[in-house]
Amino acid sequence: MDVHLLVYDLSRGLARQMSQGLLGFHLDAIYHTSIELNGREHVYDGGIVAIAPGSSHLGQPMERIFLGKTELPMDVIEEFLESLRPIFTVEAYDLWKHNCNNFSDSFAQFLLGKGIPEHIIKMPDAVLSSPMGRMLMPQLNQTINSSRQNGSILGIQSPPSTNGYGSAPQPTKPQPKVRVVHSSQELDGALETAKNSCAVVLFTSATCPPCRTISPVFDELSAEAAGKAAFIKVDVAQLTPLPGKSYPRATPTFITYLHGEKENEWAGADPAALRGNVQLLLQMAWPRHPHEALNLPSFSNPNTKPVLFSKVPPLSKLLGKMGSAANAPAVQGIKQFVEARDKEGAAAAILPNMGEVSALIQKSIESLPVETMFTIVDLFRCGLVDARLSGFFAEEPGHKTVLAILNFVNSHSECPYALRLVTLQMACNFFSTPLFPEEILRNEALRAPIIQLISSSFLDDSHSNVRVSASSLMFNLALFSNKARRERSGDVLPEGDAVELAASVLEAIGQEESSPEALQGMLLALGNLVYCAPTDSEVSDLLRAMDAEDAILAKKKQFPNEKMIAEALYDIRRPRPPRFVMWASQRHRYRAIIDEIKLTLRESSLDHRLLPTVVSEMPSLYSSASTPSLRSHDGPVKVDGGGNVRVVVRVRAFLPREIERGAECLVEMDPITQQTTLRVPNDNDPANAKAKARKIVEEKTFTFDNSFWSHDINDKYYAHQEEVYNSLGEEFLDHNFEGYHTCIFAYGQTGSGKSYTMMGTPDQPGLIPRTCEDLFERIEAAQNETPNISYNVRVSYFEVYNEHVRDLLVPVVPHQPPYYLKIRESPTEGPYVKDLTEVPVRNLNEILRYMTMGDRSRTVASTRMNDTSSRSHAVFTIMLKQIHHDMETDETTERSSRIRLVDLAGSERAKATEATGQRLREGSNINKSLTTLGRVIGALADAKPGSRKRNKDVVPYRDSILTWLLKDSLGGNSKTAMIACIAPSDYEETLSTLRYADQAKRIRTRAIVNQDQISSAERDAQIAAMAEEIRALQLSVSESRRREKDTKEQEEKLEEYQNHVATMQRMMEERSLVAEGKIRSLQTENEALRLHLKLALESLKNPIPAVTIKPPQPEEAEDDTQKDRSAESGDKEKADDGESLYDDSDDTAYDSDVMEDNANDMQEYMRNLLSDLGMFRRKIGDDKERWVVERATLATSLGV
């Protein structure tokens, strides 16, 4: 659309005549400007209004300047104008600082990235700076104030009859209108756009009076539905039905559609019936979410505003840290804009040059040090608070400015704290305009780095401010997604991104321990992410898998005052459906459940003995050769009589290294007989000289199903990629549609062209991409011809690397060891990879996307023989299901087939490849698996002609992961083809490959059509059985949970009892030790008393005999007399001593008996105490043993 600037002269020529004398300088006009766009003139005059160009009382403009072209859609432009209304109000109008020219400049900046001419913007300042302008300023301001009371300054208002913008806010989104169609194609297109919701079709006629009566009611209901339903009018007189379709001819007739299916039909011009049916349809299409019945004000408030960081730092200090970059005009322009907005309001702030700002930021990323970059981002953050500036960068082509900042921060694993913080706050300020959230939700390239920034910032456990800002950014994103989801308009956050954000914030909630602000922000973000989300979404499954409820509830102990915990808990709990469900809605849900159970029934791998073995004949649905029907044209489905593995051989062109050494082509192919001949190499070829010297070399000839000559592109028999597919892939895809499993694998030495044959290049796609393309072309053609057949396609992609299986559709986590899958074997399905990712695909682009993703994850490396050598065996599997429901017999027929496309790694010799280390180990495992494959081929091959017996050796499938997984394809239920890729100049390796291929063509497989037929009675019985099984499982799960809860409670009681018993044991042991010490002390004292008593009794029984004394001599008489006296006194003392001794003995004997009795009593008491203690210990042991037995029994019953 063209953008013009309309310039008016409010002085009507007087400024040009008198300005020089009055103002002291020449002035062409007193400029009044507006923007002309899409046939409307947008002007600011007491509000933003839109009028017909030149229709105001100002007349025609003085000048009409072409500013440029804009590619922005009108709804985006209208939304931007709506965001400017709070800035450009009648109260904010200022003749000198905030006028129509400022509006025109802001609008032009948004539309084109450049403003209006500078002399127009600076005109008020020039006038104001003159003496005359300062003198006239009070009178002009008084005039403007008086005009402001009338709602405008110059009297420009939107005419009532137009839909332009008035001074009052108007809805920015167009009201839904009734769509009028005139053909069957238009009607089908209109219904296709409403297949995710509902539609109401009115078949009317211009000559029908009742139609004219009911038509206004129909239009009114369309406006009330607000886009929740498509309202379509069809004039039956102009409608030409397509062949096979019929439409009502009576008018008025109404038909309603729900999710693409016809719901109801009625005739007549009854407004009450129309309103009732439309309301019922809307309730079925848009049922009320269970969350809306809960009291969750933090998540249900439609007026919740996003978090913005509007604080302005000291700009002089901020610019001082920039260095020389602070002098750039763009920096000064942003600085002046931010200062004016901060001090005088948005009305006084003039936008800087947006182009210069964008160039400054991108240049700073390249030139400024990472430690200084935060200054530019912070200044930019301050400007983004204004909706005019953020609106421009929201619609910037490619979002190159903001993406440059986001990618720069995300690319630094050790990003400085200040830079990460201001980048998060800058991203929060994106939401100052409604244009940015819509772009983020719509544009994956913009959304992905924002989500990466949030997830990585949650991991910063050192800075709570970073986590607070990250939670604020996630809250803003979830808030706008929540609003779009509840209003059922616009884009919402994709489920994959919502899962990633939910996982990140749940992990952050679990680790948050210090910041209540961060926790509150995380809970608000998670709550808005989950609020009113589908109950069966992946986010809900993730919350249950990660025990989100327990993780949030655990925060109650650390943050007891956080009120958001309770509200978030109610929000994330699985909501219960409303008690009352309308019968029509319940019927549609029942249909969906039945379809899901039927699909589950098909995938449950039931024993074939439980299913019918004979399928009755059903008329052919269509006769296309490329898409066969689900019924055999020859009657009942039969088992394939068996067939050999189809073997083709393909020789590649010379490689540069072969051309350099002058290699000779040793392979010849006959396009008529399909013979392949390997000639004897000449003596001059050093690569084959050792082979000739080591063994007898002779010419060999082999015959295969096809021989593809891809050596010389100039040869008329050269086989291109397309020819290989037409000869092999197309036929095998036919088998898949017939219901057979198929397998195609490429075999050969390294560098022989296997990956090129299977995968190809973007210019020359190989067998796998061509098969995928042909598959969906056939499905599309079949659905157009027979819509009662549904097709379901799923794919998986894995590699066998070093005898381990790795899922190629699971992204590789950097610096983490790869996760390898396990192999299991089913009695009905054969070997399979457990937990392998199987993704549903709906078109070619999706399947190619998954294929490309897997190719990036595949292990490749460079060797001497091959620059891009595959170091693993890759298996790409396509699962195709065809389900046909016969409306006449109410029978369902399903065919399931599998397309397995295998790109084997090439056999190699260490000397030839010069591999060492990891490459050598890889080559060893590759050769091991290929050797096992050769042994399996040899064991499966039929005996040669003339041989008396068939090889009855055990087939060594399990000797290699590769052969185990290909067991069913090599010798079981599959039609298999082998592409032997050979090099043109390597005699030994080529001969080895051709011999393997020659053996493989003698392998016989026995493929069967994988088809099931279920009648309505059988289907109902199986559905009832499965429903009963589901109920039984639910009861079992409920009972298990109850038992688990009881077990947990019993374990807690047992643990408490055991702790109590242990405490008592310790106390008893302590008391026992004290008692034993007392006993030992008493025993020692008793023994001492016994010894004392014994000595005393012995002294009484055996007294000491008296001593005879001779008479004394005379001369000694005196002395003797003295001695006698002494003796008498001594005898008396002796007698006293003897009496004393006796008495003491008696006393001692009495005391000993008492102590002995006391000791005996004490011993008896301690003996009884010890006996009681022993009995108590035995009781504790018995109780413990009984608890252990009960616990083990309970665990066994729960299957733990």
Sheet holding 667-670, edge to edge: 667-670, 675-678, 700-703
325, 363 Cβ separation under 8 angstroms: no
Q: What is the CA radius of gyration of the chain?
A: 48
- What H or E segment, with its residue span, contains residue 1198? helix 1117-1198
Amino acid in the structure at residue 1060: H
751 labelled binding-site residue: yes
For residue 802, is it left (φ>0), alpha (ψ between -120 and 50) or beta? Answer: left
User: For residue 570, how far is the Cα from the chain centroid?
Assistant: 23
748 labelled binding-site residue: yes
Q: If we measure between CA atoms, which residue out of 420, 410, 333 comes closest to residue 379?
A: 333
256 labelled binding-site residue: no
729 labelled binding-site residue: no
Q: If we measure between CA atoms, which residue out of 394, 532, 379 comes closest to residue 109?
A: 394
752 labelled binding-site residue: yes
439, 482 Cβ separation under 8 angstroms: no
Please name the residues in contact with 1058: beta carbons below 8 A apart, sequence gap of 6 or more.
1184, 1187
Q: Where are the alpha helices (DSSP H) in 671-816?
A: 686-694, 721-724, 730-738, 754-758, 767-785
1077 labelled binding-site residue: no
The tokens for 77 are: 């432009």
d(CA 1047, CA 59): 88
Residue environment code for 905-916, b if the CB has 16+ CB neighbours within 10 A, otherwise e: bbbbeeebbebe
Please name the residues in contact with 337: beta carbons below 8 A apart, sequence gap of 6 or more.
349, 350, 351, 352, 383, 386, 389
d(CA 284, CA 1128): 138
d(CA 256, CA 839): 34
**Three-state SS annotation for 512-576:** CCCCHHHHHHHHHHHHHHHCCCCCCCHHHHHHHHCCHHHHHHCHHHHCCCCCHHHHHHHHHCCCC
Which letter does DSSP use for residue 398 in this model?
G
The full DSSP string for 1109-1170 is -PPPPSTTHHHHHHHHHHHHHHHHHHHHHHHHHHHHHHHHHHHHHHHHHHHHHHHHHHHHHH
755 labelled binding-site residue: yes
The tokens for 530 are: 């989950």
Q: If we measure between CA atoms, which residue out of 19, 173, 1 comes closest to residue 70?
A: 1
CA angle (238 as vertex; 235, 239 as ends), nearest 5 = 80
CA distances from 360 to 385, 404, 793 (A): 19, 12, 50
Longest Cα–Cα distance in the chain: 188
For residue 1113, is it left (φ>0), alpha (ψ between -120 and 50) or beta? Answer: beta
Q: Rounding to the nearest 10 degrees, give the CA dihedral for residues 465, 469, 474, 476.
A: 150
- Label residue 127 exposed, middle or buried (CB < 10 Å: 0-12, 13-18, 19+): buried
CA distances from 291 to 569, 949, 1166 (A): 12, 73, 71
Q: How many CB atoms lie within 10 A of CB 846?
A: 16
End-to-end distance of the chain based on CA atoms, in angstroms? 70
3-state secondary structure of 885: strand
Residue 51 pairs in a beta bridge with: 41
Which letter does DSSP use for residue 24 in this model?
S
d(CA 1031, CA 1021): 15
464 labelled binding-site residue: no
Q: Write out the binding residues for ATP.
A: 748-755
Q: Write out the binding residues.
A: 748-755
